[in-house]
Each structure stands twice: as C-alpha cells, then as structure tokens.
Amino acid sequence: MRANLWRDSPAEGWLSMDRYANELYDALTALQEPGFSVCMPDPPQSPRRSRHLARLLDYPRWVRSQPPGDIEHILDYSYGHLTRSLSGWV
C-alpha cells in the first residue's frame, strides 16, 4: 500500500506548512510497516511569477503526472482543488 502526501507549492513559502508536512512524513516512515510506503514528492518550482497561477495551474498539472497512491492525503485544506487532479477522481 502506498500513501501519497501532497504538500504546498514551494511558491507559497509557508514554513509552518512545510514543517507540518516534513514531520508527518518522518513519523509515517518511522513506522516501518511491511507493505506500506509513504511518498511525498517535492513539487517543482513554477516558472510563473504569480503564486496563484502556480497553485491553480502548474501544481495540479504536475500532480496528474505523478504515480497514484492507494491513499491520497492533501496536507493543506487550501489545496483541496487538487482532488480533481488525483487519479480516480472526477
């Protein structure tokens, strides 16, 4: 079973959300459950100057290119729009 953790775009610069994401990832990987893996891919830096365009256009497009997980967890509720980019969602 694979769990994907989706963090904020680097364009946001929200250090508290980065810390939350890193600590959750560390805690889940420390469990070392057989057959369970956690993946938290680092989103690429957007070429756009606007963090809003990066959030709404570039990041969802990038998420669609990533391998799907059995569990998908969006770490920040303000990124709920990513659900439409996840495999299996309409």
**31-62 per-position pLDDT tens digit:** 888 999 999 998 888 777 788 888 898 999 99
CB atoms within 10 A of CB 33: 10
DSSP secondary structure letter of residue 81: G
**Amino acid at the residue 78:** S
What CA–CA distance (Å, rounded) separates 1 from 33? 10
In this predicted structure, what is the pLDDT of residue 88?
65
What are the residue ranges spanned by the domains of the chain?
Answer: 2-85
Average of pLDDT values for 4-28? Answer: 93
CA distances from 72 to 48, 78, 82, 83 (A): 26, 15, 10, 9
Percentage of the chain beyond pLDDT 70 is: 97
In this predicted structure, what is the pLDDT of residue 89?
59
